[in-house]
């Protein structure tokens, strides 16, 4: 108890609060600008923390972390452009909501879900860090591979129209994931002598191209009469938090935050997988799954509560084991180490006050994020009033800055434009872009873990089925796939077809 009070005293310092506020604001802005990610917001702030104490510096970095993930929802909702990879799923229902004139509600919903997800994730971190960390460590090659297979089944849920076209787009993503040096032998594949491709196609240029640049191209096509524009956007009402909708979504929130925290804690899985899994789960639990993708509030709730819960989850292995969960926490850990604080089992034992101080600062960062956004959403919604002929060039400019800024590579900027063109045609012919991103993320996860597993298990593939976690995930994937196929089958106009359920079960 004394320790908690000491920690509270450390955090309740005006300078620490100012640090958190400054970090959160910068994070929000960077998260909201397409191309600038949470990891980059933190990296930019690290040199500023050199002269600060650990709590103030850490508060600022954690603020940037929370702010960036929450900020990613704003362009995802208003412009159909995810600000960070974690908000891809937010676009699926968020943008249709905005098109239906519910921009105010959508922003409020995303904000409140982000806050709830973030706080619950933080509470999980404070209360259950050790068992979650142990579970996360249980993920070996077999478990990661099974998680990837499980994720592939989600393509059926995130496909906007035809499942077949969604699968085709997913396969395209899986194919693109093979570019780069072979994860097991180092042999270069499809790199065409381009050094920037040695480590594979970057997620960022792909994401920004497929979502942001394609959106700009679409707009140009609509304006020049190449395609017919959709019905004019309805006038949005003022931004507010729709508490009623939120209360009705409590089941979605609880499942999504658990998924977000646990997936966030598994090193190497990451926020985008968590939000895809939660979105899929929300759809599966829903009594009206057909509403997803058309502007269903539960889609926004699931994605946003999950991706903010991953922040707390990702801090679990970093703080308790010294193993960062993904890129942003890796940068965060670098920032802490520079301060002379070494995350790991020893941090809690030797510097418990500091440990709790960091947790409290993280909790506080979520509150600050909520309050600043509460004021902010009234402003953000005005983005919709900016004439498109001004908005689109600005979006394009931020895309180029964002992609160039990360690696300083002009090649990746061209890659982004290439993906923009690809995304434009994928959208135009109803394939959708979300399955491509999912395939790109899961492709490398599945390939490297399948092959790593074959090395570790000495070529014995049955080991993939013998581990309890991986077997569970594979069976669930088979059951879900069977359910999707069964449902499609029943909806099909041939009611007298053979209905042998075994024929529909997926092989594993």
Partner 1 sequence: MIANLVKAAALGLTLAVSTLSPAAWAREFPAKPVTIIVPYSAGGGADSFARALQRPLESALGTDVVVRNVAGGGGAVGYMQALAARPDGYTVTVPLNAIFTLVGMGNVTFKVDDFDYIARITEEPYVLTVTRSDRWSDLQSFIAASQEKPVTLGVAGVGSSGHIMTIAMAQDLGLKANFIPYGGNADAAAAALGGHIDGVVLQPSDAAAAIEGEGGLIPLAATAPSALLKDVPLFKDLGVDLTTAQWRGIATPKGVDPAILARWEDALKTAVKDPEFRQTMTNLGFDLNPIYGADLQAFVQQAQDLFLPLTEAVATQ
Task: Give the torsion sign (CA, 391, 392, 393, 395).
Answer: positive
Q: Among 230, 340, 493, 507, which residue interacts with partner 1 (rule: CB under 8 A)?
A: 340
Burial 40-61 (b: 16+ CB within 10 A, else e): bbbbbbbebbeebbbbbbbbbb
Q: In this structure, are residues 455 and 106 in contact, taking their beta carbons and an 8 Å threshold?
A: no
Nearer to partner 1, 62 or 98 (CB): 62
Nearer to partner 1, 78 or 440 (CB): 440
CA 334/CA 343 separation, integer angstroms: 10
Nearer to partner 1, 386 or 455 (CB): 455
- Minimum Å distance from CB 212 to partner 1? 21
Three-state DSSP state, 188: strand
Q: Candidates 134-142, 282-290, 294-302, 379-387: pick the segment binding partner 1 (CB under 8 A).
A: 134-142
Helix 271-285 to helix 297-321 angle (10° resolution) is: 140
Q: In this structure, are residues 177 and 440 in contact, taking their beta carbons and an 8 Å threshold?
A: yes
Per CB under 8 A, 267 contacts partner 1: yes
Three-state DSSP state, 484: helix
The size of the interface with partner 1 (CB under 8 A), counted in residues, is 60
- Residue 361's φ and ψ, nearest 5 degrees, are -60, -40
CA 266/CA 260 separation, integer angstroms: 10
Total residues belonging to the chain: 508
Nearest to 174 by CA among 419, 440, 432, 445: 440
Q: Among 185, 228, 385, 462, which residue interacts with partner 1 (rule: CB under 8 A)?
A: 185
Nearest to 341 by CA among 322, 313, 325: 322
Q: Candidates 230-238, 294-302, 317-325, 368-376: pick the segment binding partner 1 (CB under 8 A).
A: 317-325
Nearer to partner 1, 294 or 407 (CB): 407
Nearer to partner 1, 47 or 430 (CB): 47
Per CB under 8 A, 48 contacts partner 1: no
In the chain, how many H helices and how many E strands? 24, 2
Per CB under 8 A, 271 contacts partner 1: no
Nearer to partner 1, 21 or 265 (CB): 265
Q: Give the footprint of partner 1 on residues 136-155 (CB under 8 A).
A: 136-141
Q: Among 335, 420, 435, 439, which residue interacts with partner 1 (rule: CB under 8 A)?
A: 335
Q: Among 406, 416, 434, 438, which residue interacts with partner 1 (rule: CB under 8 A)?
A: 406
Q: In this structure, are residues 369 and 73 in contact, taking their beta carbons and an 8 Å threshold?
A: no
Q: Candidates 64-72, 301-309, 315-323, 477-485: pick the segment binding partner 1 (CB under 8 A).
A: 315-323
Q: Among 175, 242, 334, 418, which residue interacts with partner 1 (rule: CB under 8 A)?
A: 334
- Residue 162's φ and ψ, nearest 5 degrees, are -75, 130
- Minimum Å distance from CB 347 to partner 1? 8
Q: Among 343, 376, 432, 443, which residue interacts with partner 1 (rule: CB under 8 A)?
A: 343
Distances (CA, A) of 261 to 280, 320, 388: 16, 15, 38
CA 177/CA 377 separation, integer angstroms: 37
Q: Which residues contact 490 (CB under 8 A, 6 or more apart)?
A: none
- Minimum Å distance from CB 268 to partner 1? 6
Q: Give the footprint of partner 1 on residues 210-249 (CB under 8 A).
A: none
The Cβ of residue 472 has, within 10 Å, a number of other Cβ atoms equal to: 13
- Minimum Å distance from CB 57 to partner 1? 12
Per CB under 8 A, 183 contacts partner 1: yes
Per CB under 8 A, 101 contacts partner 1: no
Per CB under 8 A, 322 contacts partner 1: yes
- Minimum Å distance from CB 265 to partner 1? 11
CA 91/CA 293 separation, integer angstroms: 9
- Minimum Å distance from CB 32 to partner 1? 20
Per CB under 8 A, 321 contacts partner 1: yes
Per CB under 8 A, 418 contacts partner 1: no
CA 345/CA 322 separation, integer angstroms: 7
Instruction: Return left, alpha or beta for 159; rule: phi > 0 is left, psi -120 to 50 is alpha, else beta.
Output: beta
Per CB under 8 A, 313 contacts partner 1: no
Per CB under 8 A, 399 contacts partner 1: no
Q: Among 225, 387, 408, 493, which residue interacts with partner 1 (rule: CB under 8 A)?
A: 408
- Residue 290's φ and ψ, nearest 5 degrees, are -70, -20
CA 365/CA 386 separation, integer angstroms: 30
- Minimum Å distance from CB 445 to partner 1? 10
- Minimum Å distance from CB 199 to partner 1? 6
Q: Is 405 exposed, middle or buried (0-12, 13-18, 19+ CB in 10 A)?
A: middle
Give, for 180, the enclosing helix (H) or strand (E): strand 180-181
Q: Among 229, 346, 393, 501, which residue interacts with partner 1 (rule: CB under 8 A)?
A: 346
Per CB under 8 A, 53 contacts partner 1: no
Q: Give the footprint of partner 1 on residues 22-41 (CB under 8 A).
A: 39-40
- Residues in touch with partner 1 (CB under 8 A): 39-40, 42-44, 46-47, 50, 136-141, 181-186, 188, 195-199, 202, 267-268, 317, 321-324, 327, 330-335, 337-340, 342-346, 406-409, 412, 448, 452, 455-456, 458
């Amino acid at each position: 108890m004394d320790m908690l009070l000491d920690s509270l005293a450390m955090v309740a310092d005006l300078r620490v609060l100012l640090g958190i506020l400054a970090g959160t604001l910068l994070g929000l802005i960077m998260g909201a600008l397409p191309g600038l990610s949470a990891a980059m917001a933190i990296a930019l702030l690290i040199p500023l923390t050199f002269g600060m104490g650990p709590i103030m510096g850490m508060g600022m970095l954690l603020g940037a972390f929370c702010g960036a993930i929450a900020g990613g929802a704003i362009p995802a909702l208003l412009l159909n452009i995810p600000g960070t990879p974690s908000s891809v799923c937010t676009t699926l229902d968020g943008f249709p909501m905005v098109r239906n004139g519910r921009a105010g509600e959508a922003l409020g919903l995303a904000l409140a879900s982000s806050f709830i997800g973030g706080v619950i994730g933080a509470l999980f971190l404070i209360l259950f860090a050790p068992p979650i960390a142990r579970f996360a460590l249980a993920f070996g090659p077999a478990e990661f591979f099974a998680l990837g297979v499980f994720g592939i089944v989600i393509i059926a849920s995130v496909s906007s129209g035809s499942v077949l076209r969604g699968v085709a787009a997913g396969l395209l993503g899986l194919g693109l994931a093979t570019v780069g040096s072979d994860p097991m032998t180092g042999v270069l594949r499809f790199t065409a002598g381009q050094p920037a491709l040695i480590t594979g196609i970057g997620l960022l240029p792909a994401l920004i191209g497929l979502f942001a640049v394609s959106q700009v191209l679409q707009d140009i096509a609509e304006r020049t009469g190449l395609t017919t524009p959709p019905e004019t956007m309805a006038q949005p009402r003022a931004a507010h938090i729709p508490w009623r909708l939120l209360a009705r979504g409590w089941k979605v929130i609880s499942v999504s935050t658990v998924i977000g925290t646990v997936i966030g804690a598994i090193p190497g899985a990451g926020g985008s997988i968590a939000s895809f899994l939660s979105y899929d789960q929300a759809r599966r639990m829903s009594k009206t799954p057909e509403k997803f993708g058309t502007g269903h509030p539960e889609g926004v709730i699931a994605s946003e509560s999950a991706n903010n819960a991953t922040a707390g989850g990702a801090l679990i292995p970093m703080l308790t084991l010294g193993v960062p969960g993904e890129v942003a926490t890796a940068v965060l850990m670098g920032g802490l180490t520079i301060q002379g604080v070494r995350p790991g089992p020893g941090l809690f034992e030797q510097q418990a006050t500091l440990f709790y101080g960091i947790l409290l600062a993280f909790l506080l960062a979520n509150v600050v994020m909520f309050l600043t956004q509460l004021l902010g959403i009234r402003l953000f919604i005005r983005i919709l009033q900016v004439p498109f002929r001004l908005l689109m060039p600005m979006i394009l400019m931020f895309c180029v800055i964002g992609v160039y800024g990360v690696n300083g590579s002009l090649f990746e900027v061209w890659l982004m434009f290439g993906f923009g063109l690809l995304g434009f045609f994928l959208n135009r012919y109803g394939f959708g872009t979300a399955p491509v991103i999912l395939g790109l993320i899961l492709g490398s996860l599945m390939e490297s873990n399948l092959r790593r597993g074959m090395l570790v298990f000495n070529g014995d593939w049955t080991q993939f089925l013998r581990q309890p976690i991986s077997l569970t995930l594979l069976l669930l994937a088979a059951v879900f796939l069977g359910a999707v196929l069964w449902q499609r089958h029943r909806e099909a106009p041939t009611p007298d077809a053979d209905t042998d359920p075994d024929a529909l079960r997926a092989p594993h």
